[in-house]
Amino acid sequence: MSSIVQHIARFIGLLFLQVLVLNQMTILGWATPLLYPLFVLLLPIGMPLGWQLLLAFGMGVSVDAFAQTGGMHALALVFMTFLRPAILGVITPKEGYQPDDQPTIAGLGLSWFLVYAGLGFFVHHLVFYLVEILSLVHWQHMLFRTVFSWVASLLLAILALYVTYPKAGKRTL
Amino acid sequence: MRNLIRFLVRNNAFFLFLLLEGLSLWLIQRHQAYHHIKIVNSTNQITGGIQETYHDITGYFALRRINDSLQQEMAQARSGQLPPAYAAQLVKVDTVVDTIYEQRYTYWPVKVIASTVHHADNYAMLDRGTKDSVREGMGVIGPAGIVGKVVAASPHYAKVMTVLHRDFRAAVQLKRQGLRGALRWAPFSPTQAKLDYIVEPADLKLGDTIITSGASTYFPKGIVVGTIADFSLTPGENFYDITVDLATSFSSVRYGYVIKDQYLAEKDTLMTLE
């Protein structure tokens, strides 16, 4: 029960952090951190994919409504969400996932989370910037921005987890 | 066949995925066709409201800077650099010159409540819409120079295609030489644009000012666009490759003016006469 409240709060918190703060930021004029995919990455591991996709679409469309980007955020986030089971599968711990495992730093460790979130954010950012530019003429530029923004988002995601889960320090690496 | 059905049943999330991606694509496509959207849909009223509140709060932090630029603008207005008037000259045989000034352009003050600089195509949002006669096709300038064109307006908000958009074009000229050209964005730079169609040989210098030429109905003549940051001439080419430092800082522009050309209808009628 409390976890549902937690997810709703995270949805709203990340949405407003993204549209009111992060979207106004450009790092060195090159990239904007896109932190909202963290919402999907932190959904329970066992959640039915259909629900995940619907929630991802809701989040994406909300960000789009503020950023005036049509459906670009929605498209990228739904794409990432669809690949999430595959990402989770690739980096399954030796003993497999336990029923109460949380896909967080506190739950599965920092190195696991780095690979997990790293892959997730990369897929999302790549699709997003590809759709935004809608051409392959400027592919170097697109790739550069993807990587730039990806690093920023990933650092921010880890920072956010350490801030909101102070106990994470107990199980690093 | 049975395998196919089993595949479909087991993968219904896949069809949801396709459906949602299709929906996203449709939303993107609808958004890209911005000039077909005469009315910004109702979600913009909601998000616009929230963004406006946010702007009101953060606006306080920018007050000092806004004050400075207002003062600068006042100084400019005092020295008569804003072109608000159309000079109608009547020259009579007895050489009495009667100059009357008739108001041609109207400037409406607006707040820029949101703007982007880092997207592949950038827009800004204004806090005035059709209720204040802001319409599609009007030019927008800021305290430092041109900002963009209104592409859609709802009752209370308007959406502006800024210079930082791949479809943006403006008729401009070099202030000193009077040579006319066209301005387009230098894609993905938040501060620079390109000046096309300046034929060689031309006496160009770094730092030369570029102003609007008044050839389009969006901007009156003489609005500052930017300065030449770099130019070169490829052997065999007729036109210079000119890079322009834009005068407006698109990431920090907070207020501006929507321009209405009173003679727009007249000009349009004349153009369609032939």
CA dihedral B55, B58, B62, B64 (to 10 degrees): 120
Rounded Cα gap, residues B160 and B163, in angstroms: 9
Tell which of A61, A68, A134 to mutate to test the B interface (max B CBs under 10 Å): A68
Tell me which residues of chain B, numbers 103 to 122, contact chain A at a CB-CB cutoff of 8 Å: 116-120
Chain A residues lying within 8 Å of B32, measured CB to CB = 70
Give pLDDT, residue B42. 44
Nearest chain A Cα distance for residue B17, angstroms:
7
Q: How many CB atoms lie within 10 A of CB B160?
A: 27
Give pLDDT, residue A37. 96
Q: Is the Cβ pair B20, A74 closer than 8 Å?
A: yes
Using CA atoms, how far residue A21 sits from A33, A36, A42, in Å, is 10, 12, 21
Tens-level pLDDT at each residue, chain B (274 residues): 666 656 555 667 888 899 999 999 998 888 766 534 433 444 466 676 777 777 777 777 778 777 877 877 776 676 555 554 444 434 434 444 445 566 677 888 888 988 888 788 888 989 888 888 888 889 999 988 999 999 888 888 898 999 999 889 999 999 999 999 999 999 888 899 999 999 988 899 999 999 999 887 788 888 999 999 999 998 888 899 999 999 999 988 888 899 887 777 777 777 676 5
Give pLDDT, residue B98. 43
Q: How many beta-carbon pairs below 8 A join chains A and B?
A: 94
Tell whether B15 lies on the interface with A, counting CB pairs under 8 A. no
Q: Which residue has the higher pLDDT, A40 or B156?
A: A40
Decide if pLDDT at A17 tops 60.
yes
Chain B residues lying within 8 Å of A75, measured CB to CB = 21, 24-25, 28
- The model's pLDDT over A82-99, given as tens digits with 9 standing for 90+, comes to 999 999 998 888 888 887
User: What is the set of domains in chain B, with CATH numbers?
Assistant: 36-274 (2.40.10.350)
Give pLDDT, residue B168. 92
Q: Which two tokens stand for residue B273?
A: 């006469």
Contact A168, A48 (CB under 8 A): no
Q: Nearest residue of B to residue A24 by CA position?
A: B116
When CB atoms are compared, the residue of B24, B118, B187 closest to A71 is: B24
When CB atoms are compared, the residue of B28, B119, B190 closest to A29 is: B190
Domain residue limits, chain A: 2-171
Q: How many CB atoms lie within 10 A of CB B114?
A: 24
Tell which of B12, B23, B27 to mutate to test the A interface (max A CBs under 10 Å): B27
Q: Is the Cβ pair A75, B24 closer than 8 Å?
A: yes
Give pLDDT, residue A34. 94
Q: How high is the ipTM of this complex?
A: 0.85
Rounded Cα gap, residues B249 and B253, in angstroms: 6
When CB atoms are compared, the residue of B24, B44, B120 closest to A78 is: B24
Q: Nearest residue of A to residue B44 by CA position?
A: A65
Give burial (CB, 10 Å; 0-12/13-18/19+) of B250.
Answer: buried
Tell whether A49 lies on the interface with B, counting CB pairs under 8 A. yes
Q: Name the nearest CA neighbour of B135 among B121, B120, B149.
A: B149
Q: Nearest residue of A to residue B30 by CA position?
A: A70
